Structure 1
Amino acid sequence: MSREQELRDQIIEKAWADASFKEQLIADPKSAIRDAFGIEIPAHFNVQVLEETQDNYYLVIPENPQDVARMSYESLGRWR
């Protein structure tokens, strides 16, 4: 499992366990992640948090691996 996936899992688990954190995560994801996990997300990086319900399912289409392979790690702008 990648570090990004591990962090994603930790964020979801915390949101399930802590309603206040979940509210902050939905309203201001960067601040919520910084405050809870000490991770500063760059200003140019956009983070959206959506909560699935029984009636709403969200399908995220990731970047095309062919396009990503052409880019350097630094140009991807991934946060660590």
Structure 2
Amino acid sequence: MEFIKRKLLNECIRFIELCQSYVLDGRINVETYSSLSGIKISFIKDMLEREKTSIYFDRDFSRRINELFKKNSLIYEMSKKVINR
């Protein structure tokens, strides 16, 4: 079961990383990014909260998750600045 949970988290992270690279390259807009990744980010947060004691995260996996949340914040901050202009 732990393998399946980790695999599911890994696939969600990979998908969001792809979406983030697309929005940062200008290939998709923030609204599209939000609709594609919003539920997956919520899922990751919920899964991490519920399973923090039962799933082992190595350093690389933890780094990827942290980078994912940092880029997500950066994308939304950038979009707020554009809207407020």
Query: Normalization by structure 1: what TM-score?
Result: 0.32
More helix by share: 2
Query: Normalization by structure 2: what TM-score?
Result: 0.30
Q: Which structure has the higher relative contact order (CA within 8 Å, separation 6+)?
A: 2
